[in-house]
Amino acid sequence: MASAPMSHNEVSQEFSVNKLIRVGYYELEKTIGKGNFAVVKMATHVVTKSKVAIKIIDKTKLNEENLAKIFREVHIMKRLRHPHIIRLYQVMETEKMIYLVTEYAPGGEIFDHLVRNGRMAEPEARRVFRQIVLAVHYLHQQRVVHRDLKAENLLLDADNNIKIADFGFSNEYTPGVPLSTWCGSPPYAAPEIFEGKHYDGPRADVWSLGVVLYVLVCGALPFDGPTMQLLRSVVVSGKFRIPFFMSAGKQANLTSNTLYLLLISNFQGDVTHN
């Protein structure tokens, strides 16, 4: 990692990230994301005026395991080049902080888009979903599994094209060698993960793709529950409902069949039309 010049705002650990106004050649602006150990800021390059997103990670709050995950995320993102995957431009590091400078997606999260506008019309959902599938296919060709595919990690650029983000749970894999780490968001997790079994990484991503498609066209989760135990029961059963507005027409049937292939062929379960 390249060493970043210390900003005059980062003279001590007491200074909060919100008081930073500049990192390297980037002027920090509004906060666009927050996590347990990181804040994501929109920023502008002082020379080119181009917009980027900067993930600011406080190393002092990380144990060795979490720090290793950050370095793994960086290692993976550095080698990814795909039009529908967020690009990592630069990594800077100081004694206490790590800065990941990435492509900025002004359209924000698919999740927020759905909250504002409701479920997508099926032609638009198919267009968006195709881009997601192309990107995930590329990841698997690179022997990388994402393991946290969900609406919150799918961003939109200025033209409403997909950018997959957040590779914090991603990992490299060897075909035929199962994975064992519980990862991702429970409503998007595959049954074998809930059952505590070793799992095939790409197949787990494919299950999450099925959940994503359902969310796009239905505006709701196919599997949900008020407690983790009930959610586990629903996911492991593989039962979900196809809403009435998807039950007629060739195009609707195409979407329903795709959901069946992703969620049911991947794991035995039942579909109920409602």
Given a contact cutoff of 8 angstroms between Cβ atoms, the answer to whether 53 and 105 are in contact is yes
Place of tokens 């002027």: 27
Distance (Å, whole) CA 14 – CA 159: 40
Distance (Å, whole) CA 111 – CA 105: 14
148 a catalytic residue: yes
The identity of residue 8, as a single letter, is: H
The kind and range of the H/E element at 112 are helix 110-117
Candidates 31, 66, 26, 160; CA nearest to 9 is 26
How many helices (DSSP H) and strands (DSSP E) are in the chain? 7, 14
Packing angle of the helix pair 110-117, 201-218 (nearest 10 deg): 20
Which residues in the chain belong to E strands, given as ranges? 2-3, 22-23, 26-34, 38-45, 51-58, 88-93, 97-103, 108-109, 144-145, 154-156, 162-164, 171-172, 240-242, 271-273
Quick one: tokens of 21? 């106004």
Half-sphere CA count of 41, side-chain side, radius 13 A:
18
HEC profile of 17-86: HHHCCEECCEEEEEEEEECCCEEEEEEEECCCCCEEEEEEEEHHHCCHHHHHHHHHHHHHHHCCCCCCEC
Which residues partner with 138 through β-bridges?
none
The answer to whether 55 is a known ligand-binding residue is yes
**Annotated catalytic residue within 112, 148, 200, 224:** 148
Active site residues: 148
Which residue positions form the known binding site for ATP? 55
Which residue positions form the known binding site? 55
